[in-house]
Amino acid sequence: MSRAFVDEDASSEPEPRYTLPDPDSPHFDRAAALALIDGANLGNTRSAELATGLRWGEPRLRCHVEALLAEASERDDLRIVQLARRFLRKADDYDTTDGAGD
């Protein structure tokens, strides 16, 4: 088989693991927001969605992602700034479509 069609590294990266507080904890939403941003940064948003039970762009996480955006801006972390802005745009989409967004 041609090497162009062989992905030797496909299983070399373990799935990310997220340590989250209990969903009833007042700290859960911030941890979930961070997990979703981290998952996206790793190119594996789906694993973070599964771990948190929340979707990318979840409007209830808006204030936490805004805080993460401000923190990332202060330390010039352009990648996290980019991801946080994307998250907030998606949250806006959910808000305007009444949750029926992509």
pLDDT, tens digit, 9 for 90 and up, residues 48-73: 999 999 999 999 999 999 999 999 99
| DSSP structural state of residue 16 | P
CA distance 87 to 33: 9
pLDDT score of 3 more than 60: no
Q: Is residue 102's pLDDT more than 60?
A: no
Average of per-residue pLDDT across 41-52 = 96
Q: Is 17 or 88 the better-scoring residue by pLDDT?
A: 88
- pLDDT given at position 100: 53
In the chain, which ranges are continuous DSSP H helix?
A: 28-41, 45-52, 62-74, 78-96
pLDDT, residue 92, reads 95
Q: Which residue is associated with the tokens 């009833």?
A: 24
pLDDT of residue 2: 47
Residue in 22, 56, 18, 58 with CA at minimum distance from that of residue 35: 18
The answer, yes or no, to whether residue 46 has pLDDT greater than 70, is: yes
Answer yes or no: pTM beyond 0.85. no
